[in-house]
Amino acid sequence: MSKFWNSRTRELSPYIPGEQPQNRQYIKLNTNENPYPPSPAVIEAITRAANERLRLYPDPSCTALRDAVAERRRVKPEQVFAGNGSDEVIAFAFAAFFEGAYRAAPILFPSITYSFYPVYAHLWGIPYECPRVQEDFSINHTDYLKACGGVVFPNPNAPTGMLMRPEHVRAIAQYHAGQSRRHHAVVIVDEAYIDFAGYADAVQHAARQTSAVHYIEEYPNLLTVHTLSKSASLAGLRLGFAIGNEELIEGLCRVRDSFNSYPVDRLALAGGIAAMKDAAYYEAITRTVIATRERVSAALVEKGYAVLPSRANFLFVRHPAMSGSEFFTVLRNAGILVRHFNKERIADFLRVSIGTDAEMDAFLTVCGST
């Protein structure tokens, strides 16, 4: 550790992202990227935006992007906040809505969930508790119906891929929307994978029905967070947004403008707007990813693997005989990268992103020979 670091820096345990190999070609199923390219309209929009106007700062309010998101998600532009990826948006939300003061009430997030949440909690000095997920790895929503400093969870959850029922999400938001000081708290639903929550024959209908965006008018304490990295095939662009009550959006803006008033560049704005407007293209590739997910899941179960019921663009898989680390090594040696979390209860599972059908066939071939 450097003698120049302050105490906060020394105590941090930073998030470790999925491997991005540079020295070998792998079938890359480790970071939940979309296997299909962005809409051609997105590439065209970015190309047009790469002009002499790059000498000017972008719109700090991301007005046109917020308008496009609002139209697509059927909300008001004032209920939308845009940022440099959903991770940044979540970091701002932690800073804006959760108390880091000594003896503050702890926030709640699941014991098995997105590993950035404890990182942000440590960064901002926010106390937290992690209700244990159930034996089947589902989240028991009643664990979150108690006084606390706030609630955050992904839906579908990561890395399990399991979906909490909409009425249970609503119950959590309702409990913490009370006027009494005891129950009043912000509930953040991280919907990075919500577009994959449907089935191949009803993608957008199912996604709309399961998204907590439906409840933001009813519950002013509810914030949903979204990314263009997954279903929009724009992980390399770094763009995310939140939807919620105007007061919550103003809080996010206050935090943003205390760090960087221009987090979204001109090229990202152009690409994000085009992506929001090309719903038909993205519904088609989302439908393909979902169909592949269901096919691969069924094939793995037939081979004796344990597979959690995923509603995301990945599967959480356990080999019938090997440990998680052994299976990870077998796949890596075969040129296939997946994600292994060496943590309590999930050390024998691997998270496998859904690739193209050809990539998943190669994965299944290795699974069938081990």
- Give strand pairing partners of 294: none
In what side-by-side order are the strands of the sheet with 128-129?
Answer: 80-83, 240-244, 222-227, 187-190, 150-154, 107-108, 128-129
Number of other CB atoms surrounding residue 136 within 10 Å: 9
pLDDT tens for the chain, 370 residues long, are 887 888 888 887 776 776 777 666 899 999 999 999 999 999 999 999 999 999 999 999 999 999 999 999 999 999 999 999 999 999 999 999 999 876 789 999 999 999 999 999 999 999 999 999 999 999 999 999 999 999 999 999 999 999 999 999 999 999 999 755 556 899 999 999 999 998 766 666 666 678 999 999 999 999 999 999 999 999 999 999 999 999 999 999 999 999 999 999 999 999 999 999 999 999 999 999 999 999 999 999 999 999 999 999 999 999 999 999 999 999 999 999 999 999 999 999 999 999 999 999 999 999 999 8
Residue 242, both tokens:
């939140």
Alpha helices in 177-278 (DSSP H): 203-210, 246-256, 266-277
Catalogue the E-assigned strands of 157-287: 187-190, 222-227, 240-244
Enter the pTM of the model. 0.94
Alpha-carbon distance of 112 to 220, in angstroms, equals 27
Residue 120 is given by DSSP the state H
Domain with CATH 3.40.640.10 in the chain: 40-278
Residue 237, both tokens:
């662009």
Domain with CATH 3.90.1150.10 in the chain: 7-37+280-369
Lookup result for tokens 């069924």: 298
Res 209: pLDDT: 78
Res 184: pLDDT: 83
**Integer distance in angstroms from the first to the last C-alpha of the chain?**
42
Alpha-carbon distance of 341 to 317, in angstroms, equals 12
Q: What b-and-e string marks burial along 144-168, b requiring 16 or more CB atoms within 10 Å of the CB? A: bbeebbbbbbbbbbbbbbbbbebeb
Res 308: pLDDT: 98
Instruction: Please say whether the structural domain 40-278 has been given the CATH code 3.40.640.10.
Output: yes
Q: Among 3.30.70.890, 3.40.50.360, 3.40.50.12780, 3.90.1150.10, what is the CATH number of 7-37+280-369?
A: 3.90.1150.10
Res 203: pLDDT: 62
Alpha-carbon distance of 91 to 110, in angstroms, equals 17
Res 202: pLDDT: 65
Single-letter amino acid, residue 254: R
Res 347: pLDDT: 98
